[in-house]
Amino acid sequence: MTDAASTESRPFEADVAKLLHLMVHSVYSDKDVFLRELISNAADACERLRYEAIATPALLGDDPKPRITLAIDPEQRRLTVEDNGIGMSRDEMVEALGTIARSGTKAFLDRLQAAEGEAGANLIGQFGVGFYSAFMVADRVDVVSRRAGSDQAWLWSSDGKGSYTMAAAAPEDAPARGTRVVLHLMADAKNYTERPELERIVKAQSGHVPVPIAIIDKPGEAPAEVADGAALWTKPKSEITPAEYTDFYRSVAGQFDEPALTVHYRAEGRQEYTALLFVPGTRPFDLFDAERKGRIKLYVRRVFITDDVEIVPRFLRFVRGLVDSADLPLNVSREMIQESPILESIRKGVTTRVLGDLEKFADKEPEAYNKVWDAFGAVLKEGLYENFERREGLLGLSRFRTTAAPEGWCSLKDYVAGLKENQTAIYYLAGDDIARLQASPHLEGFRARGVEVLLLSDPVDSFWVTMAPSFDGKPFRSVTQGEADLALIPRSDSGSDQKPADDVPTADFVSFVKTTLGDAVSDVRVSERLTESAVCLVAPTSGPDRQLEKMLAGAGRLRAGAKPVLEINPHHALVASLIGLKDDDSIKADAAHLLLDQARVLDGEPPGDPRAFADRLARVIGRALPA
């Protein structure tokens, strides 16, 4: 019972109201997700109590053993999920159940609205909003909670239609400690009051949470245990089936996909710990959220400590799972954990093991590994920029689109094995779109010689190549920077590397263009890299390449970049005609500026002066038209 006079009604935060509407009115192929989410919340509450009880044992009272109980009442069409965990105060209930305090909520809601079936169910757990999935099966949800160590209990209640009520709960109607979630089920969800159905869901989705789970068939009956709460990670690998690993992964990761890779081992020696880690099979859509952190839980001798500590570097933040240390003190504060030399040793060990297992995975199952790279490669490459110690290993793990395999993935080992005669560098082209990169004029001379070029389209690519000087003794070299140095590599097509027979007019034209353009370019020269296009822009040998320069300028970190070099292809019909013009410097001057603007457009930039470009173009076209 509650005191009606003290009952307070509040509207949901706008995003919560929208979320509830979507959940109530959407149809998911697997509504069972709600039970996994409620059990996961209950298990977390029990684990947090175990942690707080290290410093304050009195919180456990005379009920030290954690438990989760599912009580069914078919007559009342009611399902109750109860735990004896840490519980919540009034303010904590308002914060947890009335708001979504996580960045990216709008993106989540947009995705949820568009998703269907299991894909939609997948999204529920990814943003920590699993509690609200209860409204897929219940037309009213009551939550009664008492914070451990408190005499006061509170009742939160809502029908999921825009508001909720908060009131003080009568002591006799509340658990002695913990939280009780009562679901008043919809008519088409009555199957969740059937013991076999609940037992099936618990064993399939939550059988390996570290808290025992019991079911009460009818009011007044004794609970019957259906999951013993044994920690899966403490069992020998030989006793764990792939299905059990998958179930545990889904429980700890809050996702419904299959893990691509499972890393389970026990470390002994200077530090003793057990790690059970998973590489997900699919990419969460908030992987690049600036506030996103890793989600690996830290235990000490099976006592949950925190999930807010960096156990792996940020470039492995997609890894899920847990680490259970036997050496960290149970009473260590969360602030001191970060600076602990023991944890630092664990970090190094876990990171080395994950990268090592990824390397073995890539060797044994290359197709499966390519899917992992497709999902998480852009994040792994952050390590090439941030972590010098791991750079060599990460380069070995890296896969790339190339001019020879634009739809597949190529390793650097395979790239180096295919180097052409006299090729001494690993060539790359960086940009923001694979299709545009493939069409770049900078690739023409390399294609003519059969030289493979890495196509780098992730933002981090322009940075890590400046930090990774070489692989297998071969330096990385941008095809948009400096001289192409292709003369020593024989062409594989029927074209010629020879300059025109009469080189004097070409030199005169190049000199004229350079004089005409003035400070707009740092140099004008005959190109080794062009075979089909008339012109292109390249960066000077020193400084950033073209793509990095654009990114730095766009971020306001580069006030004035170096003037580009204009390369001209004298074999191109247009350039050859301009070279052959006699005594008409005015049209040559217009053409020089138009060639520069053409190169800018090919490089993804607008003309330097749109009005002047239009005027010059009009003059040139006008002269070409018959009088």
| Ranges 225-239, 325-339, 604-618: which has the least confidence | 325-339
Q: Name the H helices within 556-584.
A: 573-580
Distance CA 43, CA 68 (A): 7
Task: Say whether 128 counts as a known binding-site residue.
Answer: yes
396 close to 380: Cβ distance less than 8 angstroms = no
Task: Say whether 605 counts as a known binding-site residue.
Answer: no
Classify domain 398-478 by CATH architecture.
3-Layer(aba) Sandwich (3.40)
Distance CA 355, CA 349 (A): 10
The CATH class given to the 4-229 domain equals alpha beta
Q: What are the residue boundaries of the structural domains of the chain, listed by start?
A: 4-229, 233-369, 398-478, 503-542+551-624
As a whole number, mean pLDDT of residues 141-154 equals 96
| Band of residue 10 on the pLDDT scale cut at 50, 70, 90 | confident
Pairing of strands 565-568, 523-526: parallel
Task: Say whether 27 counts as a known binding-site residue.
Answer: no
Q: Which 3 state secondary structure label does DSSP give 489?
A: coil
pLDDT attached to residue 501: 41
Q: Dig out the tokens for 266 from the structure.
A: 């026990």
Q: Dig out the tokens for 222 from the structure.
A: 């004794």
Question: Residue 286 pLDDT > 80, yes or no?
Answer: no
Cα Dmax for the chain: 107
Task: Say whether 179 counts as a known binding-site residue.
Answer: yes
Q: Which 3 state secondary structure label does DSSP give 229?
A: coil
**CA distances, 568 to each of 195, 441, 561, 576 (Å):** 78, 11, 21, 10
pLDDT attached to residue 319: 94
Burial class (CB in 10 A: 0-12, 13-18, 19+), 287: middle
Task: Say whether 103 counts as a known binding-site residue.
Answer: yes
CATH numeric code, 233-369? 3.30.230.80
* β-sheet bridge partners, residue 9: 165
Task: Say whether 422 counts as a known binding-site residue.
Answer: no
| pLDDT tens for each residue of 185-211 | 999 999 999 999 999 888 877 777 789
371 vs 15 pLDDT, higher one: 371
Task: Say whether 527 counts as a known binding-site residue.
Answer: no
Task: Say whether 130 counts as a known binding-site residue.
Answer: yes
| pLDDT tens for each residue of 97-123 | 876 534 344 554 565 556 544 444 444
Q: Name the H helices within 387-477.
A: 391-397, 412-417, 434-438, 444-448, 461-467
515 residue type, one letter: T
Task: Say whether 335 counts as a known binding-site residue.
Answer: no
Query: Residue 224's CB: how many other CB atoms inside 10 A?
Result: 11
Q: What are phi and psi of 407, to 5 degrees?
A: -100, -15
Question: Residue 355 pLDDT > 90, yes or no?
Answer: yes
Task: Indicate whether this model's pTM tops 0.75.
Answer: no
As a whole number, mean pLDDT of residues 443-468 equals 91
Question: Residue 231 pLDDT > 90, yes or no?
Answer: no
| pLDDT tens for each residue of 251-260 | 888 778 899 9
338-350: b (≥16 Cβ within 10 Å) or e: eebebbebbbebb
Task: Say whether 104 counts as a known binding-site residue.
Answer: yes
605 close to 546: Cβ distance less than 8 angstroms = no
The closest of 299, 264, 300, 298 to 279, measured between CA atoms, is 264
Q: Average pLDDT, whole number, for the chain? A: 85
Query: Residue 498's CB: how many other CB atoms inside 10 A?
Result: 8
Non-local (6+) Cβ contacts of 272 within 8 A are: 266, 325, 326, 327
Task: Say whether 191 counts as a known binding-site residue.
Answer: no
The closest of 127, 109, 134, 157 to 39, measured between CA atoms, is 134
Question: Residue 304 pLDDT > 80, yes or no?
Answer: no
Distance CA 483, CA 270 (A): 53
Q: Residue for token digits 């050496």?
A: 327
pLDDT attached to residue 398: 96
The CATH class given to the 503-542+551-624 domain equals mainly alpha
Distance CA 84, CA 130 (A): 19
As a whole number, mean pLDDT of residues 439-466 equals 92
Task: Say whether 492 counts as a known binding-site residue.
Answer: no
402 close to 423: Cβ distance less than 8 angstroms = no
**CA distances, 19 to each of 91, 164, 280, 567, 606 (Å):** 21, 14, 25, 56, 43
